[in-house]
Amino acid sequence: MRKLEKFLKPPVFAVIAAIADTHNLETYVIGGFVRDILLGKSSDEIKDIDIVVIGSGIELASLVRQELGKNCSLTVFKSFGTAMIKHAGLEVEFVGARKESYRSDSRKPIVEDGSREDDQLRRDFTINAMAISLNKETYGQLLDPFNGEEDLAKKMIRTPLEASKTFSDDPLRMLRGIRFATRLGFQIHPDTFEAIKATSHRITIISQERISEELNKIIAADLPGRGFIMLDKTGLLEHVLPELHRMKGIEEIKGIRHKDNFLHTLKVLDNLSEKSDNLWLRWAAVFHDVAKPATKKFEPGSGWTFHAHDFIGAKMIPSIFKRMRFPLNDKMKYVQKLVKLHLRPIVLSQEIVTDSAVRRLIFDAGEEIDDLMTLCEADITSKNERTVKRHLRNFAIVRQKIIEIEKKDHLRNFQPPISGDDIQYIFNIEPGREIGILKSFIKDAILDGVIPNKFGPAYEILITKGNELGLKEINPISSSRSPVKNEKSEEGDH
């Protein structure tokens, strides 16, 4: 059998091995660590290690914690029979070898103590079922009963047991298989793939949190589009991302067809993934055209239209995030903003770019302007190379305009030089519609380039506009005067 002791470089292995032999505990490192070192990853790069012991994983973890001393922390999960130590940047999880059986209506297994072979048999895929011995007599020996190393060489995802039973027992493994295939660039074995198709409906018994966790890992791959293709072909997509599933297909009327918005979206996602690993920017790519099925219409003379799909798509984001158990905070607002604004730079790139239009884009996008431009550049998916080059050239002009105007007008975190509280003080008026009118007037004047983003010119047109509304300047203020503060109004803005 193959010996792999040269890969057991982290010092924690020597400590575990010594304690295991002292206490006569059959012990192995198993799973991802073994898979990754055989894929060529340095053991120094791997921070998560799984240890399986014939006996009590909690007992072995406690002994290792005592040996490593104060620089090691121990967390025990009694209900799961597992324990984790954190030491020198590593997370090492200990579990007793076990065998599992399942009821048809639950993915929660009935767990019993088992042998090393039982434990390997319960693993999801052959590439994750390989183990390396940590005992003195067999230290470093690879135990690979299901030919996982051969599957690594073939770049193949395959289950140790019959695939349909594996997925029926624990349907989350279907998503894990697609995740591994996407991340590693592997194929799924035909028998395993067919079993996912036959069992895809079982994914509905999995909690949304676990599903979304796997989707996040798929979308974080170098080319995540391939993962969504597999989700579609296996029948999982309509269960886990029905909004994306509804975007599939091409319709034709009077010889006029629209593009397949599902495939277009995946191309946008892959384009963007080459430029950014920002998880939420990638989700914005997934959802940027999410409202196209709801807004699709054939108009004689115009062809297929998707009017307002940007605005309607933005309105859909909160309910999608809520269903997927995604954070309903600034992450959601970030995706919502990018979906809402994703057409704006495209329109600018097709027209004469005016300073006013760019100012408004910077104002509306704020800190997300760079990510918005990255998304829009990824949205160019034409197969015509000349068309792509033309659009990218135009986007480069828009980007340069953004840099020039931002440098001159400081609009990215735009705050008008005169606040609503200032207006109340200057004209000695109570809160009301006049304040909103005057604030909008100043903002529009700055964004349209009528005045610079400075106090003096803004104050001057404020007084003129106020007079038009029948207001008189009662309390003059200067640019050196601190703006009036209103704590309640400031709290309401957050």
List the domain boundaries for the chain: 5-153, 163-240, 282-409, 420-492
Q: Is residue 252 helix, strand or coil?
A: strand
> Which of these, 371, 284, 375, lies nearest to 332 by C-alpha position?
284
119 contacts: CB under 8 Å, gap ≥ 6: 30, 52, 97, 98, 99
The pLDDT of residue 401: 87
Question: How much is the pLDDT for 116?
Answer: 86
Q: Tens of pLDDT along the chain (494 residues)?
A: 688 999 999 999 999 999 999 999 999 999 999 999 999 999 888 999 999 999 999 999 999 999 998 889 999 998 888 999 999 899 999 999 886 655 555 556 555 667 888 888 888 999 999 999 999 999 999 999 999 999 999 999 999 989 998 898 899 999 999 999 999 999 999 999 999 999 999 999 999 999 999 999 999 999 999 999 999 999 999 999 999 999 999 999 988 999 999 999 999 999 999 999 999 999 999 999 999 999 999 998 889 999 999 999 999 999 999 999 999 999 999 999 999 999 998 877 766 778 888 888 988 998 999 999 999 999 998 888 888 888 888 888 888 888 888 877 776 667 788 999 999 999 999 999 999 999 999 989 988 889 988 899 999 999 999 999 999 999 998 766 545 544 333 333 33
For 202, 259, 307, 428, 479, the CA distances from 423, given in Å and listed in that order, are 61, 51, 38, 8, 13
pLDDT at 260: 94
* 5-153 matches 163-240 in fold: no
Rg (CA), the chain: 30
CA 333 – CA 320 distance, rounded (Å): 12
| 325: Cα separation from own chain's centroid | 13
And the tokens for 473? 């300047």
Tell me which amino acid residue 92 is: V
Apex 41 CA angle, 35 and 42, nearest 5 = 120
C-alpha 284/C-alpha 379 separation (Å) is 11
Q: What's residue 14's pLDDT?
A: 94
User: Residues 64, 76: contact at Cβ < 8 Å?
Assistant: no
Residue 45's Cβ-side half-sphere holds a number of Cα atoms within 13 Å equal to 8
Q: Looking at the domain 163-240, which fold is it?
A: Hydrophobic Seed Protein (1.10.110)
The contacts found for 118-121 with CB under 8 angstroms, 24 or more apart, are: 119/30, 119/52, 120/30, 120/145, 120/146, 120/160, 121/160, 121/161
Amino acid 485: pLDDT: 46
**Contact indicator for 362, 402 with CB cutoff of 8 Å:** yes
Tokens at residue 278, please?
């920002």
| CA pair distance 144, 39, nearest whole angstrom | 15
What's the CA gap between 100 and 264, in Å, rounded? 42
Residue where the block lists tokens 């104050």: 459
Amino acid at residue number 275: K
Q: What is the pLDDT of residue 494?
A: 33
Structure tokens at 305: 């239209």
- Please state the separation of Cα 288 from the chain's center in Å: 14
Q: Please report the pLDDT score of residue 347 as a whole number.
A: 78
Q: What angle do CA 80, 323, 102 make, to 5 degrees?
A: 35
Task: Note the pLDDT of residue 106.
Answer: 55
Return all residues near 160 (Cβ < 8 A) that are at least 6 apart: 120, 121, 123, 125, 126, 129, 145, 146, 166
Antiparallel, parallel or unpaired: β 252-253 and 142-143: unpaired
CA distances from 218 to 34, 104, 158, 206, 492 (A): 21, 27, 18, 17, 38
Indicate the pTM of the whole model: 0.85
Q: Rounded to an integer, what distance in angstroms lies between the CA atom of residue 219 and that of residue 225?
A: 8
HSE value, Cβ hemisphere, 13 Å, CA-based, for 106: 7
Of 375, 119, 428, nearest to 265 by C-alpha is 375
pLDDT for the residue 459 = 94
- Bridge partners of 73, per DSSP, are 86
Q: Is the dihedral of CA 423, 427, 431, 436 positive or negative?
A: negative
Question: How is residue 94 written in tokens?
Answer: 């200990």
DSSP notation for 256-304: EE---HHHHHHHHHHHHHTT---HHHHHHHHHTTTTHHHH-EEETTTEE
Q: So what's the pLDDT on residue 475?
A: 92
- The Cα–Cα gap between 471 and 461 comes to 13
The pLDDT score that the predictor gives to residue 99 is 64
Q: SS3 of 159, please?
A: coil
Tell the CATH topology of 5-153.
Beta Polymerase; domain 2 (3.30.460)
